[in-house]
Amino acid sequence: MKFAVIVFPGSNCDIDMYHAVKDELGEEVEYVWHDATDLSQYDGILLPGGFSYGDYLRSGSIARFSNVMSEVVKAAEEGKPVLGVCNGFQILLEAGLLPGAMLRNQGLKFICRPVELEVVNNETMFTTSYQLHERITVPVAHGEGNYFCDEDTLKQLEKNGQIAFRYADDNPNGSLLSIAGITNKEGNVLGMMPHPERAVDGLLGSADGLKLFQSIVKHWRDSHVVNA
């Protein structure tokens, strides 16, 4: 499986994402600059964390107009897995690939520490390697991760099983329903504030994030066997 790590001016977790895929997952991966106009050669798209365009105006609001985003939208519409982590999640929200918005953390402080998550839905292409309600440890590092949406959207997220991860006991940023990660209705776009790419090896304090990437590869391989 071949992944693209999209790099925006201000991305700072692109190397972490690349390392997780190449060295821990053992799959092919390339950096792709934000002005790219063709992602057709890639099987999966990864939007890393950081501060795209300095987070001016609003986190992700400028990056969503980058040339590459029209290709990210196209990939999502084709059913390819698209993962946005931290700033990548914010960009997916700004681009309309996921519903809702991000507010400043409830405590108005930048948070950087490991947190415990609950796997709410283990039937998505990103979560099949987890057990339902499994608790995993993954770090967060953000100042604007307070997920918010209107009441109707929240009901739809619950009804459609789009909430993939919740903060288990400690909601660090005030997100509605302790939401840490959501998918689109089709289930092939995931946005999450915690960083699974920083939890892919025991030396990092946790390897719980590796299962997320393994789930993507397993789904891709299974679907290609079926279609062969």
* Residues annotated catalytic, as ranges: 86, 195, 197
Asked if 121 contacts 164 with a C-beta cutoff of 8 angstroms, the reply is: yes
d(CA 202, CA 192): 21
Alpha carbon of 60 to those of 14, 20, 113, 171, 177: distances in Å?
A: 15, 23, 22, 23, 23
The span from the CA of 47 to the CA of 56, in Å, is 18
Closest listed residue to residue 20, CA positions, set 218, 222, 212, 225: 212
On whether the CB atoms of residues 167 and 55 are closer than 8 A, the answer is no
